[in-house]
Homo-oligomer: A and B are copies of this chain.
Amino acid sequence: MTTPREKIIQTACNLLEQQGYHASGLNEIIQASGAPKGSLYHYFPGGKTEIAVEAVGRAAETTARIVEEHLAAYADPDEGVRTLLEEIARRVEESGYAAGGPLMLVALETVNSSEPINHACRQAYRHIQSVFSRRLMAAGMNEAAADSLALLIVSTIEGATLLSRTLHSPQPLREAAGFLAEHIRRHLTSQPGG
């Protein structure tokens, strides 16, 4: 069942990722989604803000699922993170550096202008952080250390994606992949249960 509401949210996800909040007009979103134009405010009484909040939540779910899949596919978290970064680099490059980091642009644009959207972005990043953190705890780290390292992982991924897109090069993401994998492995092997 693909409701008009669903199509609008998914289209908004892509447009916000590539263009950002202010550059993505309501008309553009509706037209690209193929959803009926007249029922926009029927499905989203909160207007553009509500669409963005829903899109950010959707982007967070999608991202968290991808992260989980990569982390679950390898016996060691450092290898999971490394392949995740390589996959991100592949996707960013494949899109011609037009896509990648579905949250960062909206997060920055709205940090000072929309409390509801900022709240959604915070929840999104905290959710993704928790996925990394749980995996690190399962590998033997205590909660505080896992949370700290998970936050660093998310920060590094976002920064490397930002630089890769801006510089039109996968190098920042590839550098980050090696750096993160090395750091994670070191922290795990220095743990009591390592």
Q: Are A155 and B162 in contact (CB under 8 A)?
A: yes
- Are B151 and A163 in contact (CB-based, < 8 A)? yes
Query: Is there contact, CB below 8 Å, between B176 and A152?
Result: yes
**Chain A facing B: main interface SS:** helix
Question: Given A155-B156, A159-B156, are A23 and B172 also a contact pair (CB < 8 Å)?
Answer: no
Partner of A108, one of B151, B156, B165, B171: B165
B98:A112 contact, CB within 8 angstroms:
yes
Among A101, A105, A176, the most chain B Cβ lie within 10 Å of the Cβ of: A105
Indicate if A121 sits at the interface (CB-CB under 8 A). Answer: yes
Q: How far is the CA of A110 from the CA of B19 in the complex (A)?
A: 8
Q: Does A118 contact B (CB under 8 A)?
A: yes
Distance of A126 Cα from B167 Cα, bound (Å): 9
A166 B111 Cβ-Cβ under 8 A = yes
Is the beta-carbon distance between A125 and B155 smaller than 8 angstroms? no
Shortest C-beta distance, A85 to chain B (Å), equals 11
Bound: A112/B183 CA distance, A: 33
The answer to the question of A133 belonging to the interface, with a C-beta cut-off of 8 Å to chain B, is no
A157–B155 alpha-carbon span in the complex (Å): 9
Closest to A175 in B: B152
In the docked arrangement, what's the CA distance between A186 and B137, Å? Answer: 25
Query: How would residues 100 to 142 of chain A score, 1 for a CB under 8 Å from any chain B CB and 0 otherwise?
Result: 0100110111011100001001100110000000000000000
* Per-residue interface assignment for chain A, residues 171 to 186, with 1 indicating a CB less than 8 Å from any chain B CB and 0 otherwise: 1100110010001000
- Contact residues in B for A97 (Cβ distance below 8 Å): 111-112
The answer to whether A111 touches B125 (Cβ under 8 A) is no
